[in-house]
């Protein structure tokens, strides 16, 4: 609407300018001497006023109905005053020069400002449209006969087996059952590099398969997918209001009242000095034009629109804009451990052997013994052997030993794998090498298991919840930016101390139950800290709600149910640094825009009223209109500058924290 009205008004404004004294003053020529100049200006001015200015006239009516006058009221008053006075001059009811060109200029620049606003806000809407386009229309569902058939995506059900060909989009959330490939997840998670997928890997609806063929089992469809959750969060963020927006709206209302008061005082003052003439009306119109809080009204919404879009493309989802608005003040970041700083699953972190047995040989034997076990530690051993591409010897006579470990025959020999209880039961004695390693691992809170042939210990293996490689970079970056980093976990003190020491975290809270975590956050707040809590969004919900800024890491399918104001799509702690940087940049742009918009009005308003007319400093209405347009453009460009913000962060190039 604003775009069409702007272009039509601009085309009509050009001849109005040519028929006015503005052209004479600026270029030294005009068509003002034409016989019908005033009537042509009146006709074109009427079209501009009624058609081009209708959005402002209608908006003023709505504001007055709700008794909340704002920028629409000011614009309507300004153009109505200029139009009424000009018509009176055209019909020779008054003497002076008409303001058709001021009217035309004001309407045109106001339409330009609103068009810029709609374009900026529309860019956030485009994020939703882009997400909606990610899902394919059809999927290849594999039938009972093993053959794929094309079906609408809406026809898929949980448990269906789907073929995803090279280059095709994944139709639903699911688990890979067959095949290996690389999947482009950049539109969902912001991850720039393709992600390796193999049997057991999760795939997300809307992502693009690479060169390999995958068979996936559907786990979530429709509104349950991560993509749908992201769409809901983006929509919620667009609808939510921030404190800065509320402040700008209140400031705009106060400025409206100030402008009306200033215009009234200007009218009364110049009526007393000069009477009702074109100069008096020009001063009043200039005041109304200058005081229009258009730039002030755009200062925050434009920044919010750009920030929301930028955040979504970086895998940062804003459930509540207020959370991002508060994040710039954060001086303390508290991380949950399991699944946040660590991978959330047991992994092999160390192997020590005796004699001539190599680490790989010991791991292959241990994995062979565990092949038929369903225990989480057994799966960790098998996963480690798979990562090293080890060939496992066949095992027979597998036996689970509840509470102790497992037993199996490999190559005609009997092997046991288990913890200290099994070692004690078998009467095994640890060699000094294994005993020293076991003691060191135990002090870190890591799980130690032993590989024995009969009762003779051959190797010791350490298992632990492995620290994410991104965590070290995240903690180092936060400390570099002056943020205090803390650890909050329900795990034992030994484990917490080990993780904290590895990451360079100096303060940690261990053995804290989920319901006690909120109390710890409150304690930190009572110390005068502004706290951001980072957790998985479910077990840490009370702490996330208590924190000044709650950040749920790893959106998963619970993305819309998280208790946090900010949700990170990736399981990457470095995104917390991105959140803080984005918040600081966003807040800085809001302050700059508000300062410019308000400062401009405070300086220009007295000049428009003619307070300094005695020394020759006055602001004509046409200059006021141009400056108002310039103010709007500056605010818009300043907000758009956020798009150039670099949020790329290093992974391993940072030095280890002290």
Q: Tell me how far CA of residue 398 lies from CA of 275, 371, 425, in angstroms.
A: 107, 9, 18
Yes or no: say if 572 and 317 are a contact pair by the CB < 8 Å rule.
Answer: no
C-alpha distance from residue 260 to each of 67, 74, 85, 376 (Å): 14, 8, 18, 73
Give the active site residue among 336, 465, 572, 575: 336
Find how far residue 175's CA is from the centre of its chain.
Answer: 27
E strands in 402-455: 405-410, 413-418, 447-453
Count CB neighbours of 250 within 10 A.
10
Interior angle at CA 558, CA 553 and CA 563, nearest 5:
65
CA 608-611-613 angle, 5° bins: 90
Cα of 270 vs its chain's centroid, Å: 52
Do 446 and 498 contact (CB within 8 A), yes or no?
yes
Name the β-bridge partners of 203.
Answer: 174
Where in 138-281 does DSSP place strands (E)? 138-142, 148-152, 161-164, 173-178, 181-184, 195-197, 202-203, 208-209, 214-220
| Cβ atoms within 10 Å, residue 611 | 16
Contact indicator for 440, 457 with CB cutoff of 8 Å:
no
234 within 8 A of 213, measured Cβ to Cβ? no
Place of tokens 């001015």: 45
Q: What are phi and psi of 34, to 5 degrees?
A: -60, 145
CA separation, residue 181 to residues 138, 140, 168, 265 (Å): 21, 17, 12, 74
HSE-CB for 586 with a 13 A CA cutoff: 31
Is residue 360 flagged as an active site residue?
A: no
For residue 29, what are the contacts with CB-CB under 8 A and spacing of at least 6?
23
Structure token pair of residue 444 = 């870190």
Instruction: Look up residue 41 and give its two tokens.
Output: 């200006």
Rounded to whole angstroms, the Cα distance separating 611 from 285 reads 15
Nearest to 304 by CA among 231, 234, 227, 232: 234
Secondary structure class of 224 (helix, strand, coil): helix
The three state secondary structure string of 140-168 is EEECCCCCEEEEEHHHCCCCCEEEECCCC
Give catalytic residues, as residue numbers: 336
């Amino acid at each position: 609407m604003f775009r069409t009205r702007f272009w039509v008004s601009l085309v009509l404004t050009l001849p109005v300018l040519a028929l006015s004294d503005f052209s004479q003053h600026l270029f030294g020529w005009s068509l003002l001497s034409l016989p019908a100049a005033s009537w042509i200006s009146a006709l074109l001015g009427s079209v501009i006023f009624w058609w081009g200015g209708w959005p402002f006239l209608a908006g003023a009516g709505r504001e007055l109905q709700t008794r909340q006058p704002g920028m629409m009221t000011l614009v309507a008053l300004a153009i109505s005053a200029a139009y009424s006075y000009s018509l009176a001059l055209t019909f020779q009811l008054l003497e002076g020069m008409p303001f058709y060109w001021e009217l035309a200029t004001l309407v045109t620049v106001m339409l330009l400002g609103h068009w810029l606003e709609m374009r900026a806000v529309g860019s956030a809407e485009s994020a939703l449209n882009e997400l909606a386009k990610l899902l394919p229309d059809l999927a290849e569902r594999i039938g009972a006969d093993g053959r794929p058939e094309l079906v609408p995506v809406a026809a898929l059900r949980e448990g269906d087996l789907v073929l995803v060909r090279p280059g095709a989009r994944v139709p639903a959330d699911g688990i890979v059952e067959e095949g290996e490939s690389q999947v482009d997840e950049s539109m969902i998670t912001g991850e720039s590099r393709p992600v390796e997928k193999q049997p057991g890997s999760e795939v997300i609806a809307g992502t693009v398969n690479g060169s390999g063929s995958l068979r996936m089992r559907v786990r979530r469809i429709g509104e349950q997918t991560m993509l749908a959750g992201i769409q809901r969060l983006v929509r919620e963020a667009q609808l939510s209001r921030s404190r800065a927006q509320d402040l700008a709206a209140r400031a705009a209302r106060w400025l409206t009242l100030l402008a009306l008061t200033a215009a009234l005082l200007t009218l009364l003052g110049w009526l007393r000095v000069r009477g009702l003439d074109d100069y008096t009306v020009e001063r009043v119109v200039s005041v109304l034009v200058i005081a229009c809080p258009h730039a002030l009204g755009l200062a925050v919404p434009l920044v919010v629109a750009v920030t929301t879009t930028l955040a979504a493309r970086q895998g940062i989802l804003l459930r509540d804009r207020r959370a991002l608005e508060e994040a710039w003040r954060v001086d303390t970041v508290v991380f949950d451990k399991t699944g946040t700083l660590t991978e959330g699953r047991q992994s092999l972190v160390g192997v020590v052997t005796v004699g001539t047995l190599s680490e790989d040989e010991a791991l292959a034997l241990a994995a062979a013994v565990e092949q038929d076990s369903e225990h989480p530690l057994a799966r960790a051993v098998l996963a480690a052997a798979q990562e090293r591409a080890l060939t496992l010897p066949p095992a027979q006579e597998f036996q689970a030993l509840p509470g102790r470990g497992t037993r199996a025959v490999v190559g005609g020999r009997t092997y046991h794998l288990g913890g200290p209880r099994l070692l004690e039961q078998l009467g095994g004695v640890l060699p000094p090498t294994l005993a020293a390693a076991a003691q060191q691992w135990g002090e870190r809170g890591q799980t130690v298991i032993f590989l024995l042939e009969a009762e003779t210990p051959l190797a010791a293996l350490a298992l632990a919840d492995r620290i994410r490689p991104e965590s070290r970079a995240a903690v180092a970056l936060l400390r570099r930016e002056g943020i205090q980093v803390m650890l909050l976990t329900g795990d034992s003190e030994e484990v917490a101390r080990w993780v904290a020491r590895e990451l360079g975290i100096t303060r940690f809270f261990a053995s804290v139950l989920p319901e006690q975590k909120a109390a710890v956050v409150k304690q930190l707040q009572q110390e005068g800290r502004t706290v951001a809590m980072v957790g998985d969004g479910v077990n840490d919900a009370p702490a996330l709600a208590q924190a000044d800024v709650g950040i749920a890491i790893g959106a998963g399918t619970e993305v819309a149910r998280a208790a946090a104001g900010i949700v990170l799509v990736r399981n990457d702690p470095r995104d917390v640094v991105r959140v803080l940087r984005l918040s600081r940049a966003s807040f800085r742009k809001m302050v700059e825009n508000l300062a410019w918009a308000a400062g401009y009005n405070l300086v220009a308003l007295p000049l428009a009223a003619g307070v300094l007319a005695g020394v020759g400093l006055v602001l004509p209405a046409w200059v006021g209109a141009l400056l108002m347009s310039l103010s709007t453009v500056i605010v818009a460009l300043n907000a758009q500058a956020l798009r150039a913000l670099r949020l790329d962060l290093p992974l391993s190039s940072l030095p280890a924290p002290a």
